[in-house]
Structure 1
Amino acid sequence: MTKGKDKVFNGFMYLIMVVASLIVLVPTLWMVSTAFKPNDEVMVTPPQWIPDAPTWESFIRIWNDYPFATYFANSVYIVLAATIISLVFSAMAGYGASRFRFRGKSAFLTFLLVTQMFPSIMLLIPFYKVLKTLGLIDTHMGLILVYISFTIPFCTWMMMGFFQGIPKELDEAATIDGCGRIRTFVQIILPLSLPGIAATAIYSFLQGWNEYMFALILTTSEEMKTLPVGIGQLNGFYKIVWNDMMAASFVSSLPLVILFLFLQKYFISSLTAGAVKQ
């Protein structure tokens, strides 16, 4: 009876996983299908999953007829810079919080956590005023500062959790061998925390790559706009070119897929990191 119940339960769980996977995959497959459709097949009834005459016209148009290359380059530059800065500062802050005791440590960590509780729309006007005062409206540096202000607090908590899973005895052994704190951190602790760094990098990159609201408000010129804003502009006032929009969305999702493929082994390792207490 127990084995029979286990089989029923496992079958039910597999069914739920299949349904959940379909919910996630169907919009993605529809995006890919629409991206390869010619204009006359986009709005046909009933809808076609597989286009009769697949074409690359939409992909060619987004590069030739729109400043898509500029949007793509802006996103790559801004998000990579924000991700690297976030990793550097959150790694140092997380290491310090996991290894040292200092006055105000609990208040500091609580403050970092509280900053994540405010909705982004509430911070839009303060950020706009600060950046306008500093002359950073419609600049790459302005968006980078905004993005790192969102990612550093949570990334610090993430890195602190991974550093706490590394035994402090390693630091003590390195000190006995003559290593200073910085050398111990760079040469011993960081290589052991690669899964945590990968998970933190993916989180930070996703936050910046998909961000739309601040990029829309804080940039005005075409030369400074990012991919989400550029794709949103394909939604015209009188007409929506769905195949062009889906082609642009497909291209914009490729860096995320490539990033995950390269960091997959570290990301999977991070899922179980810290599961066993030392």
Structure 2
Amino acid sequence: MTTTNRNGFLFNALMYVILIIASLAVLVPVLWMVSTALKPTTEVMVTPPRWIPEHTSFEAFVRIWKDYPFGTYFINSVYIVLVSTGISLIFSALAGYGASRFQFRGKGAFLTFLLITQMFPSIMLLIPFYKVLKTFGLIDTHMGLIVVYISFSIPFCTWMMLGFFQGIPKELDEAAVIDGCGRLRTFLQIILPLSLPGLAATAIYSFIIGWNEYMFAFILTTSESMKTLPVGIGQLNGFYKIVWNDLMAASIVSSLPLVIMFLFLQKYFISSLTAGAVKS
């Protein structure tokens, strides 16, 4: 074996080892979460811990729906996150398209401002948001959380959509205008379908931000009927004891919408979608 081949073999072996370690670091906590959720209460704290429960039980999955207002938390999260994600997609797509196709005074400052807003920790905005929402009577309401989540996601989503729109040739817009399309029709019928991978990535980013957000949902909601899923799961962590199998079951259920979303949108993650759309 030559030196070059030996070096290539060692490099590939090292990469495989790193990938295996990284995969284990991700999969082991998930597998332990599933294992704990399927254990009856008597087996949760046994010593030594068991990966595979002796008696598989789905009692924890039943309890989170029966003994806790988990259904209310779930519906609140789905409604708030879907609405905020939809609004964020609409405004970020329009803003990204306008910034990629038009030149206007203050464009650089506008884009820089959007980027700067992502550089500060969200905790700094908690008191200002609370005072503003209290002034408008939006504390402990779905609309209040929707406004907060939109303000978080639109700036970065705009930058994401800007990058995707810049990758679409402007010749497509010019060809559509020659054919008699207006700007809005060109955007909706020509450019937007070509930017589906960008829309999918932006939707996932916005959805994850809202779905996993805990701090603002905890502070800005007080009644059980308005709390979201992360807040509800956090409340399973009791003062005197923690029902670990219930907590893990709730965590599994809360992760399912994200998994389903990835399964439905993964087909849109295709590179070079517009390759060949314009002849050189």
User: Is TM-score (shorter-chain normalized) higher than 0.5?
Assistant: yes
Question: Match for 2:175: what amino acid?
Answer: A
1:43 maps to what in 2? 45
Using the TM superposition, give the Cα deviation of residue 4 of structure 1 relative to its aligned residue in structure 2, in angstroms.
Answer: 1.2
Q: Distance in 2 between matches of 1:28 and 1:125?
A: 35
**Identity fraction in percent:** 79
Residues 186-218 of structure 1, C-alpha deviation per residue, up to 9 Å, x if partnerless? 000000000000000000000000000000000
1:179 maps to what in 2? 181
| Mapped pair 1:167 → 2:172 | no
Alignment of 1:134-145 (within 5 A): 134-145=136-147
1:192 maps to what in 2? 194
Question: Match for 2:161: what amino acid?
Answer: M
Q: Distance in 2 between matches of 1:274 and 1:17?
A: 32
**Displacement over 6 Å in runs of 4+:** 272-275
1:86 maps to what in 2? 88
Q: Distance in 2 between matches of 1:222 and 1:39?
A: 26
RMSD, aligned α-carbons: 1.4
* Maintained 8 Å contact 2:194/2:274: no
Q: Distance in 2 between matches of 1:163 and 1:7?
A: 41
Match of 1:131 among 130, 133, 136: 133
Residues 118-153 of structure 1, C-alpha deviation per residue, up to 9 Å, x if partnerless? 101111000000000010000000000000000000
Question: Match for 1:185: what amino acid?
Answer: F
Q: Distance in 2 between matches of 1:164 and 1:10?
A: 36
Question: Match for 1:203: what amino acid?
Answer: Y
Using the TM superposition, give the Cα deviation of residue 265 of structure 1 relative to its aligned residue in structure 2, in angstroms.
Answer: 1.6
Alignment of 1:7-26 (within 5 A): 7-26=9-28
Aligned CA distance change for structure 1 residues 274 and 25 (closer, same or farther; 3 Å): farther
Q: Distance in 2 between matches of 1:255 and 1:155?
A: 20
| Mapped pair 1:156 → 2:158 | yes
Match of 2:236 among 229, 234, 237: 234
1:201 maps to what in 2? 203
Using the TM superposition, give the Cα deviation of residue 248 of structure 1 relative to its aligned residue in structure 2, in angstroms.
Answer: 0.2
Alignment of 1:54-93 (within 5 A): 54-93=56-95
* Maintained 8 Å contact 2:87/2:150: yes
**Consecutive unaligned residues in structure 1, runs of 5 or more:** none
Using the TM superposition, give the Cα deviation of residue 273 of structure 1 relative to its aligned residue in structure 2, in angstroms.
Answer: 6.8
Using the TM superposition, give the Cα deviation of residue 75 of structure 1 relative to its aligned residue in structure 2, in angstroms.
Answer: 0.2
* Maintained 8 Å contact 1:161/1:274: no
Q: Distance in 2 between matches of 1:108 and 1:41?
A: 57
TM-score (norm 1): 0.97
Q: Distance in 2 between matches of 1:7 and 1:129?
A: 61
Match of 1:122 among 121, 124, 127: 124
Q: Distance in 2 between matches of 1:65 and 1:89?
A: 40
Using the TM superposition, give the Cα deviation of residue 177 of structure 1 relative to its aligned residue in structure 2, in angstroms.
Answer: 0.4
**Consecutive unaligned residues in structure 2, runs of 5 or more:** none
2:55 maps to what in 1? 53
Q: Distance in 2 between matches of 1:193 and 1:68?
A: 36
Question: Match for 1:261: what amino acid?
Answer: L
Match of 2:31 among 29, 32, 43: 29
* Maintained 8 Å contact 1:162/1:274: no
Q: Distance in 2 between matches of 1:147 and 1:3?
A: 52
Aligned length: 275
